[in-house]
Amino acid sequence: MSNGPDPLDATLLRLQQERATADTAYNDALTALDKVVMRPLDAPAAPPPYDERQITPLNQSSDVLVAPAALGGLKGRLASFVWRLVAPTLQKQAALNSLLVDHVNRNVAVHRATQAAVADTIAAVQRHVDDLAVFRNRLLLYLQQITPYVDTRDRDSAGRALVVNALVNHLADDQAKRAESMAAREARFESRVAALSAAHDELRTLIGVSQQASLTMKRELERLIAARGDAHPSAGVPPAAAPGAASASAFAPALDAYKYVGFEDEFRGSRATIRKRFESYLPYFDGAGDVLDVGCGRGEFLELLQARGISARGLDLNHEMVEVCRAAGLDVAEGDAVSYLETLPDASLGGLFAAQVVEHLQPGYLLRFLDLAQQKLRPGVPIVLETLNPACWVAFFESYIRDITHVWPLHPDTLRYLVLASGFTAARIEYRSPVPQQDKLQALAAAAGASPDLVETFNANVEKLNARMFTYLDYAIVGKNA
């Protein structure tokens, strides 16, 4: 178990520190509140009542238009003449007086209401300020009681906390011991599972090899029985020496051929996987015919061509591979590439495909193969040569040296040069099967305290190594005949 500080104790210590900080802040705030002095409100007095003393006299004296009494004689005519002169002016004055008196009368009620509202508002504000002062005093008394109240509750729960803390520590120790025990059991279990998995893989490989050996023995026995039946008994020739019978030296390679079929099944990938990889090559052969698949293996590409309506045939040196293809109804011949191509007329092929073949050939044999391919292909038809990429560290050490039939690693630039030197007018390198990102070297993320220059240099070296060691597992030379 770890000898470091108990996580629970550390948590409790942190909570105590937070509590002390909160108490200090609370007391400081309460002290600041207590020091605040509320000044009494200096409210203004209510405004005096509206002055209405002249309202009644103003209403009584507003009418200035009084017509003179009717008189006879010269005085009457003179008074009538004077009245006609001053009457219009007096009428205007009377109208003005009437409007002014009406306006004053209308605003009397408004002034009364305004004075009353102002007086009521001042009284209400004064009452509210008095209430706030009372509330502040009671609030301060309440806040002063919070700390004693919480402290008494803490004293009540302190004992319980100690008990709970002890129980939690005990449970944590017990859980840690159980986790260590479970981890040890899991490690033992994983070790046993890994051993069983390895044994299962070995058993599966042995079963596959045994199945292939059984099929080979069955076919060879059937061939021997057929050869024995063809020999005439009266000739006195031993069946083993009859024409068409296989010698021991010829029979041994056929017996061992099944091992490479098993190797293909084990390491190269399933038929479905290989078919999926080869699908991208089909567009190069659209519209073609008489395509030859050199080293056709289990016939995956022949099946793809057949499904696409492209006539094709295969060639393979491995007897068991040929038997597998023929059992699937494919047109496949048994033999080596150079010998087979030498039997074909010039310009008789409409395309040539060879996947994972050229690395099995000696340099001299490879050059002869390319020369014959150029002669037997019609002008303008494609040639596609796929092989492992030895410039990739993963491809070379994980795939190339695993297969004991590999003879010569071919750098992409080298194979492209040989294709062009053999008379093909065009040849380009097509890289395939990139190494998964998770299998590459990973760059270093910037970390606190790390030197930026050191991180940059390290990541630059990672990029260089990835560019040389973890690039593409395969490549193909895609060329055309003149």
The residue from 180, 214, 229 where one domain ends is 180
The pLDDT value given to residue 254:
45
Residue 224 within a domain? no
Report pLDDT for 296: 93
Task: Note the residue count of the chain.
Answer: 482
| pLDDT value for 252 | 37
If asked whether residues 22 and 160 sit together in one domain, one would say yes
- pLDDT at residue 6, as a whole number: 66
Give residue 202's pLDDT.
56
pLDDT tens digits, 50-62: 777 777 887 777 6
- Residue 233, in any domain of the structure: no
What pLDDT shows up at residue 28?
84
> Which run of H or E residues covers position 351?
strand 351-355
pLDDT value for 196: 77
Query: Does the residue 243 lie in any domain?
Result: no
| Same domain membership, residue 277 and residue 398 | yes
Phi, psi dihedral angles at 481 (to 5 degrees): -80, 160
The tokens describing 208, both together, are 């596959």
> What's the predicted TM-score (pTM) here?
0.48
Q: Domain total for the chain?
A: 2
- Regarding whether 423 and 294 lie in a shared domain, the answer is yes
371: domain CATH number? 3.40.50.150
Domain boundary among 123, 146, 180: 180
473 SS3 class? strand
Q: Is 207 among the domain residues?
A: no
218 domain-assigned? no
CA-nearest of 409, 386, 392 to 471 is 392
Does residue 476 sit in helix, strand or coil?
strand
> Is residue 231 situated within a structural domain?
no
Are residues 31 and 171 located together in one domain of the fold? yes
Q: Is residue 211 part of a domain?
A: no
* Secondary structure class of 385 (helix, strand, coil): strand
Question: Are residues 277 and 163 both part of a single domain?
Answer: no
Element (DSSP H or E) covering residue 57: helix 55-60
Residue 355 domain-assigned (yes or no): yes
- The whole domain housing 431 covers 249-480
Whether 389 and 270 share a structural domain: yes
What is each CA distance from 116 to 52, 53, 122, 467, in whole angstroms?
15, 18, 10, 94
Contacts with 122 (C-beta within 8 Å, 6 or more apart), sequence order: 43, 44, 45, 46
Residue type, 349: L
The token duo for 91 is 């009428």
What are the tens digits of pLDDT across the range 353-387?
A: 999 999 999 999 999 999 999 999 999 999 999 99
Q: No. of H helices and E strands in the chain?
A: 12, 7
Same domain, 175 and 254: no
Name the domain boundary from 180, 209, 233: 180
Where do we find the tokens 């002390």?
20
Count of alpha carbons within 13 Å of 174, Cβ hemisphere only?
6
Residue (of 219, 415, 242) closest to 324 by Cα position: 219
pLDDT per 10-residue tile (average), the chain, 482 residues? 63 84 84 76 78 77 69 78 81 80 81 85 84 80 77 63 68 78 79 71 59 63 71 40 34 44 56 90 94 95 95 94 93 95 96 95 95 95 95 83 85 94 93 86 75 83 84 93 79
